[in-house]
Amino acid sequence: MIRINENYLNLKASYLFSEIAKRVAAFQEKNPKTNVIKLGIGDVTRPLPRACIEAMHEAVDEMAVRSTFKGYGPEQGYAFLRDAIAENDYRSRGADISAEEIFISDGAKCDTANIQEIFASDIRVAIPDPVYPVYLDTNVMAGRAGSLLDGRYGNILYLESTRENGFVPELPSEKADLIYLCFPNNPTGAAITKDRLAQWVEYARENRALILYDAAYEAFIRDEALPRTIYEIPGAREVAIEFRSFSKTAGFTGTRCAFTVVPKDCAAFDASGARHLLHGLWNRRQTTKFNGVSYPVQKAARAVYTEEGKKEVASLIDYYLKNAGHIRSEMAGFGFECAGGDNSPYIWVHTRTDSWEFFDLLLEKAGVVCTPGAGFGRCGQGYVRISAFNDFENVREAMERIGQAL
């Protein structure tokens, strides 16, 4: 008899975005003339940089000619892209990362989801709350989470991000083996300082733990004092894997390109305590299960690092940050405490009421869609996330309408 992986039955129903869609559809049916402004889902709205488009066109043309045609590429990604990443994202910031330590993929979602399969199933996993749901759900699927009681899984160590700790979780008093961190954070928009990140690196080193550092929103960091990569912290090479994406950096959400850094010093242990390098394990995993990102897409990603590409990416990010600044200052002006929005495209608004009630209020009174914080975890209750990914005119109108509604 064919049987299912019963861990899937242990997943919490993922109703956040479907429930939002349902409520928006019902509102739109009752109010067909209202132009609903969506500041909910974290998807970009601006087109790809010109430099990326041109590089992609050229690469497509190469595919049409026998002498330049490309079949399967290297599973780890083409050297032209890995070299550019190592140089521009790491070595230029004094972080000692080589091209061979970079694995190109088609998304940080898949990488943050897939990475857990190289670790044992009985390790203790620490996951932030509120959180990007992929980290938790993939550990539930793998059977690491334990039973669900009152909305929380028994074997997960929840790292609470609250206004009291500035949305940067404290080090756990219990021992964790695998620790997920995400900065700038989705959904809170919080960034982490070098000192706080150094404490996590030290914790991982002392506890023979590993940090999975999701830096998908790194390009939004404008404060030069903040770390752009975990490898700016001494000692991180042995205890951290970093995830990055071109999705929010250069508008690649529909084009798909990202990368994961697994330093060659990074290790984990077997049951006997023997040390194993994770670079080899991840390489084996990728070469077995993944056949690489398409050549034109990698060429487009490479163009992000040209002079023209850098300028265009900076102006894309500036555009969204201007939206974010406007949202934050308006919401603060309406009397709400806000986090994020300065080094992040997300503004985390303390509503002081139930997240869904506030969501309904904005939808019904202002025709504006946000994301209820409770959908990201227990600590998200009493908050909503407002996203800066939209056109400035829409953002300005949304804030005017919210002002009138309140």
Q: Which is nearer to ligand PLP, 220 or 359 (CB)?
A: 220
Where in 252-357 does DSSP place strands (E)?
258-261, 267-269, 275-277, 337-340, 346-350
Sign of CA dihedral 317, 319, 324, 325: positive
Q: Which is nearer to ligand PLP, 367 or 377 (CB)?
A: 377
247 binding ligand PLP? (CB under 6 A): yes
Q: How far is the CB of 294 from ligand PLP (least distance, A)?
A: 15
Long-range contacts of 89-98 (CB under 8 A, 24+ apart): 89/228, 89/229, 89/244, 90/229, 90/231, 90/261, 93/228, 93/229, 93/232, 94/232, 95/229, 95/231, 95/232, 96/231, 96/237, 97/229, 97/231, 97/237, 97/261, 97/263, 98/264
Choices 26-34, 104-112, 278-286, 388-396 (CB under 6 A): range interacting with ligand PLP: 104-112
Q: Which residue is nearest to ligand PLP (CB)?
A: 107
Separation CA 156–CA 146 (nearest Å): 7
SS3 222: coil
245 binding ligand PLP? (CB under 6 A): yes
Which residues are registered as beta bridge partners of 261?
102, 242
Q: Of 186, 260, 343, 351, which one interacts with ligand PLP (CB under 6 A)?
A: 186
Q: Which is nearer to ligand PLP, 108 or 338 (CB)?
A: 108
Choices 70-78, 108-116, 315-323, 373-381 (CB under 6 A): range interacting with ligand PLP: 108-116
**Footprint (CB under 6 A) of ligand PLP, residues 196-225:** 214, 216
44 Cβ neighbours under 8 A, 6+ residues apart: 247, 248, 251, 253, 320, 389
229 binding ligand PLP? (CB under 6 A): no
Q: Of 37, 86, 108, 388, which one interacts with ligand PLP (CB under 6 A)?
A: 108
The 306-345 site mask, x for binding ligand PLP (CB under 6 A), equals ----------------------------------------
Contact 380, 187 (CB under 8 A): yes
Pairing between β-strand 371-372 and β-strand 383-387 as defined by DSSP bridges:
antiparallel
**Residue type at 386?**
I
The 272-311 site mask, x for binding ligand PLP (CB under 6 A), equals ----------------------------------------
Q: How far is the CB of 253 from ligand PLP (least distance, A)?
A: 5
Per rule CB under 6 A, count of chain residues that contact ligand PLP? 14
Cα-based distances in Å from 122 to 22, 154, 403? 38, 13, 50
Tokens representing 105 are 């993929």
Q: Of 219, 258, 278, 369, which one interacts with ligand PLP (CB under 6 A)?
A: 258
Q: Of 38, 109, 299, 385, which one interacts with ligand PLP (CB under 6 A)?
A: 109
SS3 349: strand
Separation CA 60–CA 241 (nearest Å): 33
**Footprint (CB under 6 A) of ligand PLP, residues 29-48:** 42
Q: Of 40, 49, 77, 107, which one interacts with ligand PLP (CB under 6 A)?
A: 107
**Footprint (CB under 6 A) of ligand PLP, residues 357-396:** none
Choices 106-114, 228-236, 312-320, 329-337 (CB under 6 A): range interacting with ligand PLP: 106-114
Closest CA to 314 of 257, 249, 265: 249
Q: How far is the CB of 213 from ligand PLP (least distance, A)?
A: 11
The 115-154 site mask, x for binding ligand PLP (CB under 6 A), equals -----------------x----------------------
177 binding ligand PLP? (CB under 6 A): no
Q: Which is nearer to ligand PLP, 247 or 371 (CB)?
A: 247
Separation CA 247–CA 113 (nearest Å): 16
Separation CA 213–CA 178 (nearest Å): 11
Binding site for ligand PLP (CB under 6 A): 42, 107-109, 112, 132, 182, 186, 214, 216, 245, 247, 253, 258
